[in-house]
Amino acid sequence: MKKISILWLSFFPLLAGAALSPSLSEISQTFPTVSNLWLKSLITIPSICVVLGQVVQPKLSRKITAKTQVLGGLFLYALGALPYIWPSFPIIILSRILLGIGLSLLVPHTIGLIQANFEGKIQKKLLGYASALNNFGTVVAVIYAGLVSNKDWRLVFLIYLLAIISLVTIYLFLPNDKQEVTSPKQATNEKVPYNVVRIWLKMFLLTVIYFTIPTNLAFYMHDHFQQQGTLIIGILMAITSLFGVISGMIFSYFPGRKNSQVQELILIGLFLISMCLLSFTQTLPLFILGLLFSGWGLGWGLPCFNHQLISTLTHPSSATLGIGQAMIFLGQFVSPFLIAFMSNLSHQDNPFLMSLILLGVLLGIAMLDFSKNQPTMDR
């Protein structure tokens, strides 16, 4: 049960933003004076809280056990349901901040507890399962949101109460052990390797590229395909995430799993196909195919880069993982703003074309890794 309890924590991070994606148009009708950019930021506000939380998280870990942090994080996460009771835009913003603080306590341990408790093939398999659960959370969120948004968008926020179930299982089955962390002096004396920085950048870019989809899908479907029902948006996001679930589940079984260069080229290729289809196709079936490729790429990319980070660690636990997870959430937060900035700069309103440019940057960093001949090896 300890393994299941640890893995189940990965159900919540991506769910936090994905649950609102299908209902943005309904929320915008309730608050017509709120700009689209602010509406999109509702998906990503928790992400910046996670990034800021990593500043204090190492100090917190020296005083509070991992179990206590996770329990507190899950409780705050559940407070994301507040807009169901008080459906005002300021309360929605407040609930997103509280949920984000909860995530900042929770997220470092979704991967950190796997790294601290498991090794070798089991560890890599669990990383794949964690990625699958991440995407499965999205599947559940968008299907639920698509079903209830047409009735009352406030019902969407009730999904955050699922954190109470995980809170109970963690309380019952996770030992109250204190994680070891790198001391401040030790952390100061250690120089961060360039390959670690490149992995962080790749995690950031991967998330920025992927989150172009949930932050723009509802508006893009309405403008280009005259599809505005939340149910169809929810179904599309669910199918996209389902492909991420499948990808994560089979990640550790891929024949080229010991070659991180092969893995990176595959996931970049998947996103290249995806963004080309999303950018240039005029038919809905090909557009949906592009969504599926992106789900597959994310389900592959997260465990790939997480495993690369774990392979660089020299301590039982390290701030390296926390920063890596922060890069994922920073990418979620930055995505709508960066894409909007690039679109205004280029006078191009297609967000997926902007993602193609960022994908080129990601490919450049990957090629730099290859030229340095420093592939991250399996343990």
Residues of the chain with pLDDT under 50: 179-188, 375-379
Q: Is 345 exposed, middle or buried (0-12, 13-18, 19+ CB in 10 A)?
A: exposed
Alpha helices for the chain (secondary structure H):
2-8, 15-18, 24-30, 36-63, 66-78, 89-117, 120-148, 163-173, 184-189, 194-210, 212-225, 230-250, 260-280, 284-312, 319-346, 351-372
Mean pLDDT score of the chain: 83
pLDDT at 230: 64
What is the spatial distance between Cα 186 and Cα 183, in angstroms, rounded to a whole number? 5
What is the spatial distance between Cα 306 and Cα 70, in angstroms, rounded to a whole number? 20
pLDDT at 185: 47
Q: Are 309 and 196 in contact (CB under 8 A)?
A: yes
pLDDT at 377: 43
In this predicted model, what pLDDT tens digit does every residue of 57-110 receive, in sequence order? 777 877 888 889 999 999 999 999 999 999 889 999 999 999 999 998 988 888
Delineate the domains of the chain, giving CATH numbers in brackets: 2-372 (1.20.1250.20)
Q: Are 45 and 93 in contact (CB under 8 A)?
A: yes
